[in-house]
Chain A
């Protein structure tokens, strides 16, 4: 929760780190976002996106146990370093338990993760109940350890996060090649002598380090979000390992920077939650505009394919309907498929502007020479594929049309050459292996 006075400061002051307190917070969350983006990408590519969720919940019993042990030894129980050690140990135990229990039980990852998460968090709650009951066991402070206190981050916290981020980045870069192998081809990595278990252990160490430094600074939910969301957003931009790391790191850092800035400008905007929402914004933008599998790109590609399929279907229908006749009427074309006259007219107009068909007299259309060449090629592809299915896949002639109808649009030159060689086809147009008629 931020200090209300910051509301009066200018956006630029905060963005450009002119204020000491906010500078600490902004730098700290930016570094955390960067480190979490890197670690999250590794987890996501290893198909363990939610392991961060498990590990962060599993830190509760470690924190409470450390608190109790330190109190038992006569301390106040709130030594930050001690609590962090406790959190790390129990987080690592959970990260180790998941694969062990999965192998021993043969169940899927998600079930094991749910059980470990629930069991360990439950243990933490139970331990907390005991700690509360013991004399002097005021657990205040443990709560904020779990739920975070971004805005009151102090220099020491920011420094801790900064160093943690440096270590995580260094470790990721150092093991970059090995991690890439581990994420994309585990078996190959094992076959060339890489120790998959050790690499997985290193990955877990990196993830636990990020969670430990982030947990107390920004809280449990934000850490999970920073591990998962930037990494998922990066997948819309690239399939590559290094590009994914770079995009995720950038998104994470930008979210940390923008989110903490926005929360500093306005009172009563919890920084952790705002950072998550900014990450969410980046995620939505990536999902829409991503250059690898963004929705807009995929929509455009699908529309292009649809257009191509319609054009090819029209040309084939015109050729087959007019075989021997030359020109065809809209009715004749309609009869080839379940097309409406309106649809056919629209497609014909489109083909006309492409110079593939011409309107000869009222109501009759015919293929231009270029249209005829294209149509003959399409029909030939279709029939060769049908012949292939009949002769080499043992499919009845009455059943090949539908299959060829789908495949004809994606037959490229090399594949056609192979098909021609296999069927010993000459360059002429083979006749249809099945009776032609309207699709009824």
Chain B
């Protein structure tokens, strides 16, 4: 790892990653995540025509051809979807496969006279970028030698930042509420078209430098990862750029180290391939670990909720036993809870232990007794339960036999204020549909 070589690769990779991630955010929000893949195939005829028209391998012509073909693919996809009523994915697939085939035929037909390898354009190698450098004269830093590939990427990134910044408010509106944007007079179709054109230009600028696979992946993966971490568009855009940069660095480092672990020192592999893999891995990590929307976070939240519900159900049971003067010795309660809450004996032990620890109930000479606090909370729960039954029996078509189940779920999410509203709505009912008394509201906690 040397700064001259790997540093330049990382510089290009981070620039390309950031350039792709920015328009990617809007593509992903609008459900066009595969646009990069479509454009990567659709640019082939543009490259071929640009090459045939100029007769040189000068990349300016091929770049122009590719950019036109990319924009054409974006426009055609949208037109097929809108005017032809074709499913958006299918429209995309139709357009890019046909354009790719036209390009392939052009290249094969002229293969005798020209020597162009589509792979070199589509699968550009980031490992080669440090070999072709130019010197930039920067005001503050003096002359800096940078890879030539950085120039087109820098230009499209600059354009992206300017355009996205200028249209920020409109884009935000059109991304999250296209209908509202329309009523306010913004044409969300035109905005989407702008994003697609930006994407096409970004793709073409990045293909030659870093290859299509990294470009295609970095348009969608960092944006999707960022969307799991935040719901604010500005934060998402910044996060997407950060995630993309991290994936680029991790990808390159693993490309030059990981093969060595298995095959011995000196082995490496494709950096852009590993960068794509790294962005995939970061996405999977976010799916698992994201603070609110991650799988683990949601599972923990469910666990906590289940624990609360189990404790509340136990409180309700003790209250009802007391109300009906039924036996409340430890063994009976244990058995009833197992049947009632439908959990194993170990869970019941934990629930009962939690009741004692929180001072809601005590075991007094082998009998469970609600404490003052426990009775107050249990009263609130049973009151909510029976108020819901009373309310549902008059206000909905829920049959009486099903009232209990509905109330059982609702009681856990009913606070004192809602219970009061229910009481008013039922005309301060004192008896639930099963004929049991509805307790008064417990006194407010100090």
List residues of A whose CB falls within 8 A of some B CB: 1, 44, 47-50, 52-53, 57, 101, 104-130, 133-134, 221-222, 224-225, 227-229, 231-232, 235-236, 268-270, 272-274, 276-277, 279-280, 283, 287, 293, 295
Contacts and interface: CB of A to CB of B under 8 A. Distances in A.
B272 interface: yes
A105 B101 contact: no
B204 interface: no
Secondary structure call for the A interface: helix
3 nearest A-B residue pairs (beta carbon) = A122-B276, A119-B280, A118-B217
Contacts of A231: 90
Contacts of B214: 122
Interface in B64-101: 80, 83-87, 89-94, 97-98, 100-101
Contacts of A229: 93-94, 97-98
Name the residue in B31, B220, B293 with the highest tally of chain A Cβ atoms < 10 Å from its Cβ. Answer: B220
Contacts of B283: 115, 119
Given A118-B280, A228-B90, A129 B34 contact: no
Nearest to B91: A232
Contact of B97 (A57, A118, A127, A221): A221
Contact of A270 (B28, B90, B105, B272): B105
Given A53-B37, A114-B221, A115-B224, A44 B87 contact: yes
Size category of the B interface is 35 or more
B442 to A, nearest CB: 39
Nearest to A134: B263
B98 A280 contact: yes
B215 to A, nearest CB: 9
Nearest to A102: B287
Name the residue in A50, A104, A122 with the highest tally of chain B Cβ atoms < 10 Å from its Cβ. Answer: A122
Given A49-B93, A126-B273, A110 B104 contact: no
B89 A49 contact: yes
A130 to B, nearest CB: 5
A119 B28 CA distance: 16
Contact of A122 (B83, B94, B213): B213
Contacts of B217: 114-115, 117-119, 121-122
Contact of A126 (B219, B255, B281): B255
29 contacts: A49-B90, A50-B34, A53-B34, A104-B287, A105-B224, A107-B28, A108-B28, A110-B33, A111-B28, A113-B34, A118-B217, A118-B220, A118-B280, A119-B276, A119-B280, A119-B281, A121-B213, A121-B217, A121-B273, A122-B272, A127-B273, A221-B101, A229-B98, A272-B104, A273-B104, A274-B105, A277-B101, A283-B94, A293-B85
Contacts, number: 226
Interface in B362-404: none
A176 B41 CA distance: 34
A144 B142 CA distance: 49
Contacts of B108: 1, 268-270, 273
Given A123-B273, A125-B276, 11 more contacts: A50-B92, A112-B33, A114-B34, A119-B283, A130-B267, A130-B269, A221-B97, A222-B101, A225-B98, A228-B93, A277-B102
Contact of B273 (A1, A49, A107, A125): A125
Given A107-B228, A113-B33, A114-B37, A119 B90 contact: no
Contacts of B272: 122, 125
Contacts of B41: 221
Nearest to A132: B269
A235 B102 contact: no
A258 to B, nearest CB: 14
A108 B213 contact: no
Contact of A114 (B98, B101, B216, B284): B216
A110 B89 contact: yes
B287 A129 contact: no
